[in-house]
Amino acid sequence: MRADDSLQNAFKDTKEIRRIRLKEWFSGRTIPEEEKSYISQLINGKASFGEKAARRLEHDYGMPIGYLDLMRESSIPPKSEWGTVAAWDSNTALSEDEVEVPFLRDIEFACGDGRIQDDDYNGFKLRFSKSTLRKVGANTDGSGVLCFPVTGDSMEPMIPDGTTVAVDTNNKRIVDGKIYAIAQEGGGNDKLKRIKQLYRKPGGIVVIHSFNRDADEEAYESELEIIGRVFWYSVLI
């Protein structure tokens, strides 16, 4: 596949995620009369769902910044997909559309090249469908994908403490408003690893944004290690 084809497909996937998330947001909520037609067209794919439209809707309807662009595990699938319950454990064979990826105890043990530090990894894994990985542009064999729990409240209310996130360590290109696992020098021998929303500024500067009221930080892109882009999260409510 050519590079321009890959980017075009990724853009299409982003718009599809936005439609799904917008539909989820307004499930059980009242849509203002003056926006009903427009929002219906967005959800049904009949209107362009670009960056400007997504950020405007997030602002106007009180969504966390970036809410429409991030996939979330759905606890209840569409009715058309209901069927028999299939129980599984670590001994259950993978289906043809499933792969397993490592589940770490903490972000501190994630490496930017997809490796896992031996002193953490205990063999725990999470399962993803290949179609989900394909939709976000990750490798469908699961290589380069890591999962771990988020610690702290800096990304609340969208990503609360204890949320499990999935990171594609092969995707390090900064796109404004997307969420990434990052590493910075922390003043000692160890690097400070966190989940943050990133924006680029002229001069090679990156704005590091938290969803709560913490002040934004800035760092030179050359001093910032991108572990990977967060593309999925799951949280108990």
- What pLDDT band is residue 166 in, cutting at 50, 70 and 90? very high
**Mean pLDDT, range 102-127, rounded to an integer:** 67
Per-position DSSP letters for 73-111, written without gaps between them = --SS--GGG--------TTSPPPTTEEEEEB-S-GGGB-
Q: Pick the more confident residue, 228 or 64.
A: 228
pLDDT > 70 fraction of the chain, expressed in percent and rounded: 76
Provide the 3-class DSSP secondary structure of residue 34. Answer: helix
Domains contained in the chain, CATH given: 3-69 (no CATH), 98-234 (2.10.109.10)
pLDDT in tens, 173-217: 998 888 999 988 765 557 788 889 899 999 999 999 888 767 889
* Separation between Cα atoms, residue 179 and residue 146, nearest integer Å: 15
* Separation between Cα atoms, residue 191 and residue 225, nearest integer Å: 10
**Mean pLDDT, range 136-150, rounded to an integer:** 91
- What pLDDT band is residue 106 in, cutting at 50, 70 and 90? confident
Judged against a pLDDT cut of 80, whether residue 76 lies above it is answered with no
pLDDT at 111 (0 to 100): 59
Burial of 66 (0-12, 13-18, 19+ CB in 10 A): buried
Per-position DSSP letters for 125-169, written without gaps between them = EEEEEHHHHHHTT--TT-TTEEEEE--SSTTTTTS-TT-EEEEET
pLDDT at 5 (0 to 100): 40
Judged against a pLDDT cut of 90, whether residue 143 lies above it is answered with yes
pLDDT at 6 (0 to 100): 38
Do 183 and 192 meet the contact criterion of CB atoms below 8 Å apart?
yes
